[in-house]
Amino acid sequence: MKKFEAFLNNNLLPLSAKMQNNNILGALSEGFIRTSPATIGSAFILILANFPIPAWLKWLQDMNLAPGLAAVSNASIGLMGLFAVYNIAYAYANRLGVHSQNAGLISLASYFILIPQQVVTHVNDGGKWVESTVNAVKFDYLGGQGIFVGMIVAIGITKLYSILSKKNFTIKLPASVPPMVSDSLAPTFIVTTIFLFVCAIRIAFSFTDFGDIFTFITEMISAPLNSLMANPVSMIFIQVLIAFLWFFGIHNAVLSGPLSAVTLTMMTANIDAYTNGSTLPFAMASLVYGVCGAAGNALGLVICLFFSKSARYKEMFKLGALPTIFNITEPLNFGIPTVMNPIFFLPLVLSPLVAGFVSWGLMSTILPIPYNPTAEAIPWTTPGFVKFSLIGNWQFLLIYIIITAIVALIWFPFVKVADMKELQEEMKNK
């Protein structure tokens, strides 16, 4: 273990330092860290709004409290794309030596220019439901599905703003003009140029089959999933892909369309067969998919953080442990962060790979699971130890415990190295 930790110290830490010193990669990492107050602050309310007890959820609906709690989620995690755009642009502008607030606002406006701004709905017209187009923006583009586009916009627009600013493509105002007014008016020509450029991109995509850049990115990323068969190998591949994309800040919401098509098909087919007393067609695929865990099996990461010594990682354990137990991993992914952090790339993608194949092997040999697919429909915030017990009795719970322990071992040396680095930095700053 010590040799492996020495290898990580000698190889990954220098790589991490190089990434942080790189303007683009450092800005991405800093930008995601800056979004963490919103995700951490809302995570506990999200647990309250989705606490996996049917009677509690029904009471929230009956008391009309559910919409209010949902609004908190929509205004925080549901707007992650917006937060990412502004904060990444802000961080990148600081590194380029240009006005950071202007860069953030211009990037944010450019992001909205690219977003589809009409929604097709249905209205009752004389007793008949007819289609109607309204001017509106879907939350889909503002949250996880928009983060990747937001990263591109923030970096690209800020770089363009920097180039034009340094070429003095600005309005010259007298020295007597207050700085606040001068900073606001000086980039007028720059903003006009940037907005025309972004508008041209929007119009260009409108002439394609995709219609907009968001659909283009989503379909390009999700294309490999559309042709996958529902079997254990493909389920492992999907979870590894999700973890891989998470490293680059791409939320698994981008894959929600094709993923839902696969997982819902498996679930309904299994339930139909179960109620009819037939052989479950996708039993092993569903079980393996559930064990793999999204975002690198974050519970293993939480266990490792429990043993951390740096103040920063101790606080991340306190803030991230409870949300992670309820399957809310954004506070850890954006707060540590695991996003764009080379130290955590290997455990992030290796965890679902190992978890998938080990659980598949156990369930195929010494620990067959009495699978009850009807329990798959319970709320997504149900803690793993409860959900796995309902789905496959003590056998599946035991596999969950074994896999969690293995994943914690995978994360441990990487967390230890990162923790020691943070501890050294904290000691220097005292």
CB crowding 339-376: b at 16 or more within 10 Å, else e: bbbbbbbbbbbbbbbbbbebbbebbeeebebebbbebb
CA distance 337 to 347: 13
Domain holding 233, by residue range, is: 1-22+228-429
What is residue 402's predicted lDDT score, i.e. its pLDDT? 93
Residue 387 CB coordination number (10 Å) = 22
Distances (CA, A) of 322 to 188, 252, 328, 386, 398: 47, 21, 9, 15, 21
170 and 249: one domain? no
Question: Any residues with CB less than 8 A from the CB of 152 and at least 6 apart, and which?
Answer: none
What is residue 309's predicted lDDT score, i.e. its pLDDT? 92
Structural contact between residues 378 and 387, judged by C-beta atoms closer than 8 angstroms = yes
Q: HEC states along 184-197?
A: HHCCHHHHHHHHHH
Segments in the chain below pLDDT 70 = 1-20, 124-127, 169-186, 221-229, 253-258, 260-261, 293-296, 430
171 and 249: one domain? no
Asked, as a colleague might, if the bond just before 337 is cis with ω within 30 of 0, I would say yes
215 and 233: one domain? no
The answer to whether residue 39 is domain-embedded is no
Which one of 172, 198, 220 terminates a domain? 220
358 and 420: one domain? yes
What is residue 176's predicted lDDT score, i.e. its pLDDT? 55
pLDDT digits (tens, 9 = 90+) for 165-214: 888 766 665 565 566 656 666 677 888 889 999 999 999 999 998 888 98
What is residue 8's predicted lDDT score, i.e. its pLDDT? 61
Rounded to 10°, the helix 100-114/80-96 angle is 140
Q: What are phi and psi of 248, to 5 degrees?
A: -95, 15
84 and 196: one domain? yes
What's the pTM value of the predicted model, to 2 decimals? Answer: 0.72
